[in-house]
Amino acid sequence: MTTAWLAATAALEPNCSKPAEMSLFTKIIRKEIPSCKVGAGELWYAFLDINPRRAGHTLVVPVEEKQRLAELSAESRAALMEGVADAQRRLGKVFDTQDFTVVLHDGPLAGQEVPHVHVHVMPRKPNDFARNDDIYEKLETCEEEERKARVDADETRKARSEEEMEKEATEIRRAMMETTW
């Protein structure tokens, strides 16, 4: 483990008897909760969103657990953007596009559900949504009932098995082995 990784995770191990509550995404990074990995760097981790708004919907998170972008160290923030670019290169190869919707809900009032900075990266294709900005409406929807209804209504947002998700993640992970970008 390097100094940078130790610094990024330091806040999770405070010097007191009560252990800090880890975020869902920290548990994913620590492999306490399963995820379909798309890529990773020393200070970031990218994985498929469990409730994809379109195929390839990826979340990129900093190892450093902070709720808001401004709270991250400059090093983590820069690494996060490297992670976003890395995910875009992989997704671009697999989904044959250079265009992405990249979204960050920076705090609960902005629609953040998980209090750990995360960037949504979604590859875009011509006419993938009836209206281009419909993708934002989908991102804001969090009610389970609505989610289920939309899964049925939208071909790009099918409920998927773990096997199906892992197949997609493997393809995206391998994409960089074949590209010269």
Interacting residue ranges for ligand AMP, rule: CB under 6 A: 24, 33, 35, 49-51, 59, 105, 111-114
Indicate if 105 belongs to the active site: no
Residue 73: φ, ψ to 5° = -65, 155
What is the strand order of the sheet 100-103 is part of?
37-40, 44-48, 58-62, 119-123, 100-103
Shortest distance (Å) from residue 181 CB to ligand AMP: 26
Q: Which of 57, 116, 118, 120 is catalytic?
A: 118
Minimum separation from the CB atom of position 60 to ligand AMP (A): 12
Alpha carbons 115 and 106: distance in angstroms, whole number: 9
The CA distance from 111 to 68, in Å, is: 12
CA 27 to chain centre: 14
**Two structure tokens written together for 161:** 């098995």
Asked if 53 contacts 122 with a C-beta cutoff of 8 angstroms, the reply is: yes
Cα separation, 104 vs 120, in Å, equals: 6
Active site residues: 118
